[in-house]
């Protein structure tokens, strides 16, 4: 039986500084991350010892050196937050990794909380710049200079499910799901065929089917084998092919439908032959077709559109859940998935309240009609970028949200709470509570461990290999009976 799909996202934001001719992205990111301050006074390390980004899911170790910053650089580049998230500098981008959650509604909540956290730090960091300068952040995936940065999704899977089986059944799904997960983009990049408008910001940048790298020769399926949990039991599927989305509805479908498909793979419920003849070509063909009608060549000789392929997956999902006791969120995801695919079949523009690429396309086309512009206009390219602006008063998505022109999944008060409170049903609760209660004694943190420095004693590392342990139900009594970190460590060993 499929294991619970604990999940999370890692969002890299585009960054620049207005009126700064000497803009340095790395120092700007460091300034940004350190401008976000919580109440606790801790100087906490990120525990790189627990990471191994060179392990490949196909069963081998890739040659290379693991980067480990010195202590000062580590503290400057990393923040572990009381809501269980990690906020840090990744290469030349600020990145927000949300805490582990057990359902897609909570994922939407915590990804949206990340938007608010980076915007708070953007405002604070801008106050430290010379007059006239301003940090600008965009939740998008391309800088229009040939560089792409990612939205990475993570899903907990049973290690007994072979990686070969995952690749076999997931490839076509990831290529075709962009009909409802794409963030929309004016034009093309990375030597892709020219187009006026496409579904995905990321599709042009994928050049191979399966590989470990995330920055060069990007693969549709990434092979990183870094479970952040008990390696004997779990794998963490690291999905790098998706867009960074503004629409809550789109995020909800992006992760919710993918989690369903992964459970089906674990249970052997994907039994139809939907293998594509050329997935790398197909991912661009799907993205470059806003009509969603272009047929893709399958290995078995058939031709189906991306929407028709997704309908095949939906039909298998309906059969998979038939007769089962299905939780309300999964029922809702299935219903919305069916709704979206039906609209995509008839007229994609009917989804101008739900799906990012359609919302943006409708907005831009309305502007073009009023101003007499075409897709080559610089103003149109600027609108594309401004849709993703994190400033609530300037971002076009947030304008539509205030006007009630997009569908919501969560409420603003819930998002505000998620900025400061971890989810209560995963180990993120224990991590966040330790930071809140014992900040001066927390020495280092990783997703699956937390280390305490108590006086002159050796560092005490608490392992958290089970993502569903450390929840409020598991540890509330333990925390209540542990007024100090010393008490906590003693009680854990009792």
362 SS3 class: helix
Residues facing 234 on adjacent strands:
158
Q: Which helix (H) or strand (E) covers residue 318, if one does? A: helix 306-321
45 SS3 class: strand
CA distance 491 to 480: 11
Q: How far apart are the first and last CA of the chain?
A: 34
Q: DSSP string covering 26-92, please?
A: HHHHHHHHHH---S-----EE-GGG--TTEETTTEE-SS------HHHHHHHEEE-TTS-EEEEETT
Two tokens, residue 259: 């989690």
Burial of 70 (0-12, 13-18, 19+ CB in 10 A): exposed
CA distance 171 to 279: 7
CA angle 248, 251, 253 (to 5 degrees): 110
Task: Please say whether the beta carbons of 408 and 397 come within 8 A.
Answer: no
Two tokens, residue 93: 């981008």
Q: How many CB atoms lie within 10 A of CB 217?
A: 12
CA distance 309 to 315: 10
Which residues, in sequence order, are CB contacts of 429 under 8 Å at separation 6+? Answer: 84, 422, 423, 470, 471, 472, 475
Two tokens, residue 344: 């995509």
Considering the candidates 24, 39, 47, 90, report the single residue annotated as catalytic. 90
CA distance 351 to 356: 9
432 SS3 class: helix
Q: Which helix (H) or strand (E) covers residue 234, if one does? A: strand 234-239
Q: DSSP string covering 381-411, please?
A: HHHHHHTTBS-TTT-HHHHHHHTT-S--SS-
Active site residue 90: yes
157 SS3 class: strand
CA distance 371 to 160: 57
Task: Please say whether the beta carbons of 183 and 43 come within 8 A.
Answer: no
Residues facing 346 on adjacent strands:
none
CA distance 287 to 480: 52
Residues identified as active-site: 90
């Amino acid at each position: 039986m499929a294991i619970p799909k604990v999940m999370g996202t890692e969002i890299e934001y585009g960054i620049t500084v207005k009126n700064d001719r000497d803009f340095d992205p790395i120092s700007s990111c460091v300034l940004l991350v350190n401008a976000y301050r919580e109440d606790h006074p801790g100087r906490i390390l990120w525990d790189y010892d627990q990471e191994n980004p060179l392990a490949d899911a196909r069963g081998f170790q890739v040659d290379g050196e693991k980067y480990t910053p010195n202590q000062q650089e580590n503290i400057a580049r990393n923040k572990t937050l009381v809501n269980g998230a990690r906020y840090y500098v990744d290469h030349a981008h600020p990145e927000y990794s949300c805490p582990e959650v057990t359902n897609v509604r909570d994922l939407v909540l915590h990804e949206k909380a990340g938007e608010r956290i980076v915007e708070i730090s953007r405002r604070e960091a801008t106050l430290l710049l010379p007059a006239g300068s301003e940090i600008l952040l965009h939740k998008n995936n391309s800088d229009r200079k040939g560089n792409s940065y990612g939205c990475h999704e993570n899903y907990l899977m049973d290690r007994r499910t072979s990686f070969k089986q995952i690749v076999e059944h997931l490839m076509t799904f990831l290529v075709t799901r962009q009909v409802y997960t794409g963030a929309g983009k004016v034009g093309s990049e990375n030597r892709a065929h020219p187009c006026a408008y496409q579904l995905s910001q990321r599709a042009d940048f994928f050049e191979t089917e399966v590989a470990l790298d995330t920055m060069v020769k990007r693969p549709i399926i990434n092979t990183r084998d870094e479970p952040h949990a008990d390696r004997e039991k779990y794998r963490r599927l690291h999905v790098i092919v998706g867009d960074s989305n503004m629409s809550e509805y789109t995020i909800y479908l992006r992760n919710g439908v993918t989690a369903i498909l992964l459970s089906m793979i674990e249970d052997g419920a994907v039994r139809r032959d939907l293998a594509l003849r050329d997935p790398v070509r197909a991912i661009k063909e799907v993205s470059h077709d806003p009509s969603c009608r272009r047929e893709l060549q399958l290995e078995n000789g058939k031709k189906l559109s991306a929407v028709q392929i997704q309908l095949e997956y939906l039909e298998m999902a309906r059969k998979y859940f038939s007769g089962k006791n299905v939780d309300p969120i999964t029922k809702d995801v299935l219903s919305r998935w069916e709704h979206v695919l039906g609209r995509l079949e008839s007229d994609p523009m009917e989804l101008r309240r739900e799906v990012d690429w359609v919302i943006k396309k409708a907005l831009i086309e309305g502007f073009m009609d009023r101003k007499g512009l075409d897709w080559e206009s610089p103003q149109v390219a600027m609108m594309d970028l401004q849709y993703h602006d994190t400033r609530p008063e300037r971002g076009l998505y947030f304008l539509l949200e205030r006007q009630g022109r997009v569908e919501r999944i969560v409420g603003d008060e819930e998002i505000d709470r998620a900025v400061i409170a971890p989810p209560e049903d995963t180990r993120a609760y224990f991590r966040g509570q330790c930071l809140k209660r014992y900040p001066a004694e927390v020495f280092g943190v990783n997703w699956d461990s937390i280390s305490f420095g108590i006086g002159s004693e050796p560092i005490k590392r608490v392992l958290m290999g089970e993502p569903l342990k450390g929840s409020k139900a598991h540890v509330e009594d333990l925390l209540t009976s542990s007024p100090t970190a010393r008490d906590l460590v003693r009680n854990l060993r009792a």
